[in-house]
């Protein structure tokens, strides 16, 4: 292995409290810390943990976010190539919707450097906690909103649906407040093929400053999604519309008795005499 290494860590969503002890140790011990975080307080705190900490370039003059992400990757690699043990910190989980984090690890390994990623707390983890959603119950599907539309992702409306980056639908550039009305109408129209207009959806924003601020949990009928106020960090949660029916033949094949309790509101919660 060459001298120089890369460790990518996540700072979580909420200030300070979401950083794991492992991530903190890597930040403190690194020869160089680079970061891409969503708020100035975390940036300041990272500098207090390690005086080398420096923000990754975030050049909004680029036409596309992708170009900015390439610049971030290059900056990380430039430090590693100098033989430094570099720690790159991204907000949330560093491997969730974080192209430059994955790209930097891949590139570093290709060039013969040691590179690793530590998990962090993502917005989806916060959503599970704040909305009381257990993905083990009805399953959970998670898509980037633009990808969901342009690839006509197949999904199951009887299972939970999470759509990321809804404030950026159809936008490969940078966030513009209120600039997504047209795209949100299209997203709503597509969702409306599977859910009725009155189906409640939730525009969710985890609190960064918890416990000072509560999360934003805005429940609206699907039809009102386009006019719902949201910021850059909004994530959409679409609850399951109705329970999936149970395949009795499969129950039999699995040797499970057909003692199934259907509850009106939670019919996917069922029990067998075999107790799952
Ligand atoms: C570039 S991704 C970064 C995700 C981040 N790495 C993570 O682990 O959550 C940005 C998207 O994450 C989601 N997100 C980020 N911060 C959030 C927050 N405070 N509340 C809800 N969703 C958030 C939104 O869907 C947003 O558009």
Decide if 5-117 and 123-238 have a common fold. no
Q: What pLDDT is stored for residue 209 in this prediction?
A: 83
**For a pocket test of ligand 1, which of 12, 97, 128, 173 has the largest count of ligand atoms closer than 8 A to its C-beta?**
97
Is the shortest distance between the CB of 98 and ligand 1 below 6 Å?
yes
Q: What pLDDT is stored for residue 259 in this prediction?
A: 60
Q: How far is the CA of 243 from the centre of ligand 1 (A)?
A: 28
Is the shortest distance between the CB of 13 and ligand 1 below 6 Å?
yes
Please, are residues 89 and 10 in contact by the beta-carbon 8 Å criterion?
yes
Please, are residues 139 and 160 in contact by the beta-carbon 8 Å criterion?
yes
Nearest atom in ligand 1 to the alpha carbon of residue 167 is 27
Is the shortest distance between the CB of 93 and ligand 1 below 6 Å?
yes
163 SS3 class: strand
Q: What pLDDT is stored for residue 65 in this prediction?
A: 83
User: Using CA atoms, how far apart are residues 83 and 97, in angstroms rounded to an integer?
Assistant: 28
Question: Does 65 participate in catalysis according to the annotation?
Answer: yes
The overall average pLDDT reported for the chain is 91
Q: What pLDDT is stored for residue 135 in this prediction?
A: 96
Q: What pLDDT is stored for residue 242 in this prediction?
A: 87
Please, are residues 42 and 30 in contact by the beta-carbon 8 Å criterion?
no
Q: Which of 69, 195, 204, 237 is catalytic?
A: 69
CATH domain 123-238 topology? 3.30.950
Q: What pLDDT is stored for residue 29 in this prediction?
A: 98
Q: What pLDDT is stored for residue 212 in this prediction?
A: 79
Per-residue pLDDT of the chain (276 residues; tens, 9 = 90+): 889 999 999 999 999 899 999 999 999 999 999 999 988 999 999 999 999 999 998 878 777 888 989 999 999 999 999 999 999 999 999 999 999 999 999 999 999 999 999 999 999 999 999 999 999 999 999 999 999 999 999 999 999 999 999 999 988 877 788 778 899 999 999 999 999 999 999 999 999 986 778 999 999 999 999 999 999 999 999 999 988 999 999 999 999 976 654 444 444 443 333 333
Q: What digits encode the pLDDT tens for the residues 82-124?
A: 999 999 999 999 999 999 999 999 999 999 999 999 999 999 9
CB atoms < 10 A from the CB of 167, how many?
24
Q: How far is the CA of 249 from the centre of ligand 1 (A)?
A: 41
User: Using CA atoms, how far apart are residues 211 and 213, in angstroms rounded to an integer?
Assistant: 5
CATH domain 5-117 topology? Cobalt-precorrin-4 Transmethylase; domain 1 (3.40.1010)
pTM over 0.85? The answer is yes
Question: What is the domain partition of the chain in residue ranges?
Answer: 5-117, 123-238
- C-alpha R_g of the chain: 22
Q: With b meaning 16 or more CB within 10 Å and e meaning fewer, what string describes 106-134?
A: ebbeeeebebebbebbbbbbbbbebbebe
Please, are residues 66 and 99 in contact by the beta-carbon 8 Å criterion?
yes
User: Using CA atoms, how far apart are residues 80 and 210, in angstroms rounded to an integer?
Assistant: 35
Q: What pLDDT is stored for residue 274 in this prediction?
A: 33
Q: Where are the beta strands (DSSP E) in the chain?
A: 5-10, 32-36, 54-55, 85-90, 114-117, 140-144, 160-164, 200-205, 216-221, 235-238
213 SS3 class: coil
């Amino acid at each position: 292995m060459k001298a120089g290494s890369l460790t990518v860590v996540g700072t979580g969503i909420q200030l300070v409290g979401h950083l794991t002890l492992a991530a903190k140790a890597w930040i403190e011990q690194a020869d160089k810390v680079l970061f891409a975080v969503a708020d100035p307080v975390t940036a300041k705190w990272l500098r207090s943990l390690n005086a080398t900490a420096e923000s990754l370039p975030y050049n909004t003059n680029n036409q596309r976010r992708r170009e900015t992400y390439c610049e971030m990757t290059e900056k990380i690699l430039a430090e590693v190539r100098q033989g430094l043990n570099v720690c790159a910190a991204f907000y949330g989980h560093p491997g969730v919707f974080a192209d430059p984090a994955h790209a930097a690890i891949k590139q570093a390994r290709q060039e013969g450097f040691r590179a690793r990623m530590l998990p962090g707390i993502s917005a989806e983890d916060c959503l599970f906690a704040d909305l009381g959603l257990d993905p083990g119950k009805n399953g959970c599907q998670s898509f980037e909103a633009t990808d969901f539309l342009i690839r006509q992702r197949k999904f199951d409306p009887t299972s939970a649906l999470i759509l990321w980056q809804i404030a950026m639908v159809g936008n490969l550039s940078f966030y513009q407040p209120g600039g997504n009305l047209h795209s949100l109408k299209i997203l709503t129209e597509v969702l409306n093929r599977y859910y009725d207009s009155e189906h409640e959806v939730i525009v969710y924003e985890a609190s960064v400053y918890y416990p000072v601020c509560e999360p934003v949990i805005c429940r609206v009928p699907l039809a009102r999604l386009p006019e719902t106020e949201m910021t850059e960090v909004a994530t959409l949660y679409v609850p399951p519309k109705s329970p999936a029916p149970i395949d009795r033949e499969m129950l039999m094949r699995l040797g499970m008795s057909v003692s199934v309790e259907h509850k009106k509101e939670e019919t996917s919660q069922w029990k067998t005499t075999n107790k799952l």
